[in-house]
Amino acid sequence: MAGEVRQLDDRKLAVLRAIVQDYVGTEEPVGSKALVERHNLGVSPATVRNDMAALEEEGYIHQPHTSAGRIPTDKGYRLFVDKLAEIKPMSSPERRAIRHFLDGAVDLDDVVMRTVRLLAQLTRQVAVVQYPSLTRSTVRHIELVALAPAKVMLVLITNTGRVEQRMVDCPGTVGETVLADLRSRINARAAGQRLPDVPGLLEELPAAFEQADRPTVSTVLATLFEALAEQNEERIMLAGTANLTRFGHDFPLTIQPVLEALEEQVVLLRLLGETTDAAMTVRIGRENAYEGLNSTSVVSVGYGSGDESVAKLGVIGPTRMDYPGTMGAVRAVARYVGQILAES
């Protein structure tokens, strides 16, 4: 390790930074001459060539064939992101625009939709937003509605504004008084609690009812628990798929595997799942577990109402992407969505 650090003196790092920046801009392998022209490195092409040879030796860059320019490797991008780049903050007009665009949302669906579209537009890449997960949110209200003598609709409302509904087929006719009683007891104990904690709090509830009503109560509770536990109901919204076509030649063969990956909610969820909660995560190329995304990078971060993150959002683009800009946009959007959610 010490070896690597010693080898990479400041100028070599500057060369790597310049290569990444140029390649991101031009999409073409960058040669030594062009490099010294576009950046004032203060040395000659020959010197740069030596540095490039060293960088290639270390695996940070790579040349597609003899006598072509150099291209950053995944490892090169990694170093660039970790050490050489700073997240580019949004300009203040951009921030105002984000704020304004998100402020118009009326309900949770709308917030998520606006967020994902905004993110796709800002980064001109594919954006992914996960709905605030049920697991981490708390109960705002649980409503029971009698639709028919033996049919009850259960509505679960969370603090993030998400609404889940379930039909319950009861074993027998349900009296309105029993239902009202059950409703108020459930809410008294569950309101404000985290979703995973609720089942424990309601366990003893059937005992408080008369023998005849217990089957009904149990059925309703079972459905409620089911709804609470249904973690895989975690939904995701996607936008900006069309942006992929702009990068046609960035993908080995076609964009097909990428599109296929994007259609699999499971893949996307796992992708976002790898984000460490608060900090921004960048997965570059083969660092992504899923094979179809081997030539893409994923920039993701958690967002939430208040101080803790309830879900994640991110951007998927070609390995050759503008990392500082993308990271800036992702961070800014996550921040504002958090604020919006906290307000509502």
Partner DNA sequence: TTTGGCACTCGTGCGTGCAGAGTGCCAGGG
Partner DNA sequence: CCCTGGCACTCTGCACGCACGAGTGCCAAA
Binding footprint of a copy of itself on the chain (CB under 8 A): 106-107, 140-141, 143, 145, 147, 153, 155, 157, 163, 165-167, 239-242, 244-246, 248, 254-256, 259-260, 262-263, 344
Nearest-approach distance from CB 147 to a copy of itself, in angstroms:
6
Please identify which residue in 17, 38, 39, 49 interacts with DNA, judged by CB under 7 A. Answer: 49
Nearest-approach distance from CB 320 to DNA, in angstroms:
16
Residue closer to a copy of itself (CB basis): 116 or 329: 116
Please identify which residue in 4, 7, 25, 53 interacts with DNA, judged by CB under 7 A. Answer: 53
First to last CA, the chain: 50
Residue closer to DNA (CB basis): 63 or 218: 63
Residue closer to a copy of itself (CB basis): 149 or 248: 248
238 Cβ partners below 8 Å, 6+ apart?
A: 116, 126, 127, 128, 262, 268
Nearest-approach distance from CB 122 to a copy of itself, in angstroms:
15
- Return the ∠ at Cα 62 (arms to 252 and 6), rounded to 5°: 145
Cβ atoms of residues 29 and 23 within 8 Å: yes
Nearest-approach distance from CB 126 to a copy of itself, in angstroms:
11
Instruction: Choose the one of DNA, a copy of itself, none that binds residue 78, judging by a C-beta under 5 to 8 angstroms depending on kind.
Output: none
What is the C-alpha to C-alpha distance for residues 33 and 44, in angstroms, rounded to an integer?
A: 8
CA-wise closest residue to 186 among 219, 136, 139:
139
Question: Which regions of 107-248 does DSSP assign to beta strands (E)?
Answer: 126-130, 139-148, 151-158, 163-169, 236-239
What is the C-alpha to C-alpha distance for residues 263 and 261, in angstroms, rounded to an integer?
A: 5
Question: How many positions of this chain bind DNA (CB under 7 A)?
Answer: 25
Q: Is 314 in the site for DNA (CB under 7 A)?
A: no
Nearest-approach distance from CB 271 to a copy of itself, in angstroms:
16
Residue closer to DNA (CB basis): 45 or 161: 45
Site for DNA in 5-24 (CB under 7 A): 11
Instruction: Choose the one of DNA, a copy of itself, none that binds residue 68, judging by a C-beta under 5 to 8 angstroms depending on kind.
Output: DNA
Segment 85-91 long-range contacts (CB within 8 Å, at least 24 positions apart)? 85/17, 85/323, 85/324, 86/324, 87/280, 87/324, 87/327, 87/328, 87/331, 88/324, 88/325, 88/327, 88/328, 89/328, 89/332, 90/328, 90/329, 90/332
- DSSP assignment of 20-50 equals HHHHHHH-S-B-HHHHHHHS--SS-HHHHHH
Nearest-approach distance from CB 30 to DNA, in angstroms:
7
Stretch that binds DNA, among 66-74, 88-96, 277-285, 326-334 (CB under 7 A): 66-74
Stretch that binds DNA, among 67-75, 81-89, 160-168, 245-253 (CB under 7 A): 67-75
Nearest-approach distance from CB 155 to a copy of itself, in angstroms:
6
Please identify which residue in 1, 6, 10, 65 interacts with DNA, judged by CB under 7 A. Answer: 65
What is the C-alpha to C-alpha distance for residues 199 and 190, in angstroms, rounded to an integer?
A: 9
Say how many residues make up the chain.
344
157 Cβ partners below 8 Å, 6+ apart?
A: 139, 140, 141, 142, 143, 163
Residue closer to a copy of itself (CB basis): 11 or 141: 141
Residues of this chain that bind DNA (CB under 7 A): 11, 29-34, 42-47, 49-50, 52-53, 56, 63, 65-70
